[in-house]
Structures are given as C-alpha cells and as structure tokens.
Amino acid sequence: MNLNLAVLIDGDNIPSAHVKEMMEEIAKYGNPTIKRIYGDWTKPHLSKWKDLLLQNAITPIQQYAYTTGKNATDSAMIIDAMDILYSNKVNGFCLVSSDSDFTRLATRLREAGMQVIGIGEKKTPNPFIVACDKFIYVEILRNLTEKKDDVSNKDKAKQSIDSITPKVINLISTTIDDLSDEEGWAFLGDVGSLLQKKQPNFDSRNFGFEKLTPMIKSIDSFEIEQRETSKSKHKLIYVKNKEKPKPKPKRRTKRK
C-alpha cells in the first residue's frame, strides 16, 4: 500500500543539520503530502531552520511559548495531528521528535489504523519508540552523510554505531525460531518484518550495515541460503540458526 504521509516535526527537539537526508528517508516509506514544523519562530535557536524549510517545502507553524517551562509546541502539533487524522487525507504519520510527550499521540494514531513512523535522536525515551510502527534514529542519517566526507568524519560516524551484543543476536535467533519451517529455515524478509514489530527501532544501519543480509552474514550464529524461484528473477534469501555443538560427555575416572 502506498502511504500518504503527514510529516509533523517538533522544531524544539530535532536538529536541523540533516533535514535533507531525513526527507529522503521518509520518501522511502510513502509520499509526504503534508509537511509541517512547529516552534516559536521568534526564538533565535530556530533560525537555522529557515532556509531549509524553503528548500524542502516544509510549512512552518508559529506557536508562541505562552508560559515558561511549558511546551506549547507539543499541544499545537497534537491538535493538528488529530485534525489531519479526521480529514482522511493521509493513511500514515511521521512524527519527528525526541520527546516522549508524543507517546500517547502515536498510540492513538495507530489505534485509528494509521501507520506511524518516528524519527528522533538516540536519547529518545523508549515509550515513544515502542509506540511507533518503526523508529529511525537521526544518527543513522548523520552517518550516511559523513560517509561521503573525509576520513576524519568517518571516524566520528563510527562512534555512534552500536555493537552487535548477545542480546541482539538472541533477538534475531528467537525471531528465526518463531518463523522457521521444520528444517529450521525462515525467509529473511519475514524475519526483518517481525524484528521491526518486536523492536520498532531495530535497523541494520544502527550496527553499520546498509541491509539486514550482510549483518546476518557477519554473525557466526546464523546460516544463509539463497533459493531460486520461478516467480521472481531475484533469489530469495533464507536464514537459520546454526546448530550448537553438543558438549562431549565427561569421562568417568575409575576409582582405585
């Protein structure tokens, strides 16, 4: 299904540096028919956004901070989201923020049958992440940009790449078991989809891999098999857990 997306950006909680890459990423999942960013544009810290808004056709929504310590931007964004929901003009939302205040909004939109994609920094609280169907870290987009630059920037990019921990390997392993046939094989496309449902922020790019396939290949715990099919020119990729070697029985020592 081709998604028509409403992209709503919390200008107070998202850096402006990689908005171009962010919009390119969003385009992978659907057509961003509505693009709005919320903030108090009289404040100097939002000045970096101004040229970028014109370049990416994002509509700025002015929201004055009426009270110190209260985020009026959140309220404006939530009200707009509900108005858009009931307009029936979109079938998906992209909420761009690192603020957990949008957790209930993401949940409500999903209850209404909307596809919800979240984008935020790695500091984003987990409740907001798991309330989305998919969550993408801004740091991934930063890495993609820095790969095109010099070696020193590549070193900086490596600093934000997560390591593949035993917990990650176990998540993949149990997901394969959930989908495997009698011989233990599971279609990798289905594995990727279920991983996303279990953990919305699971993304091979977090670990330095453009796709899931090379990530799986890099882990010694799994086997990969390519299968030809008459229905497609492309080979289908299947994965299974490697069988763990059985421990050798201990020799009993004879008592003298």
134, 111 contact by CB (below 8 A):
no
Residue that finishes a domain, picked among 107, 125, 159:
159
Residues in the chain with pLDDT < 70? 1, 65-73, 143-160, 232, 245-256
- Phi first, then psi, for residue 63 (nearest 5°) are -140, 110
Are 153 and 176 within one domain?
no
Name the pTM for this structure: 0.81
User: Looking at the structure, do residues 109 and 192 belong to the same domain, yes or no?
Assistant: no
- Residue 63 has a pLDDT of 79
Tell me the helix, strand and coil percentages in the chain, rounded to 5: 40, 20, 35
Contact 98, 123 (CB under 8 A): yes
Q: Within a domain: residue 251?
A: no
CA–CA separation, 86 and 26 (whole Å):
22
* 184 in the same domain as 150: no
SS3 of residue 229 by DSSP? strand
Residue 139: count of CB within 10 angstroms of its CB: 20
Q: What is the CATH number of the domain that holds 233?
A: 3.30.420.610
How many Å apart are CA 161 and CA 143, to the nearest integer?
9
**What is the pLDDT at residue 72?**
61
Which of 117, 133, 159 is the last residue in one of the domains?
Answer: 159
Task: State how far the Cα of 103 lies from the Cα of 94, in Å rounded to an integer.
Answer: 13
| Within-domain flag for 200 | yes
Strands (E), 171-211: 186-187
Residues 103 and 186 in one domain: no
Strands (E), the chain: 4-10, 31-39, 59-62, 92-96, 115-120, 134-137, 186-187, 222-229, 232-241
Structural domain including 43 reads: 4-159
Q: What is d(CA 206, CA 139) in angstroms, rounded to the nearest whole number?
A: 8
For residue 254, being part of any structural domain is answered with: no
22 and 120 both lie in a single domain: yes
Q: Within this chain, do residues 185 and 148 fall inside the same structural domain, yes or no? A: no
Number of domains in the chain: 2
Which CATH number do you get for residue 116?
3.40.50.1010
Same domain, 196 and 171: yes
- Residues 131, 233, single domain; the answer is no
Pair 21, 43: CB distance under 8 Å: no
8 and 26 belong to one structural domain? yes
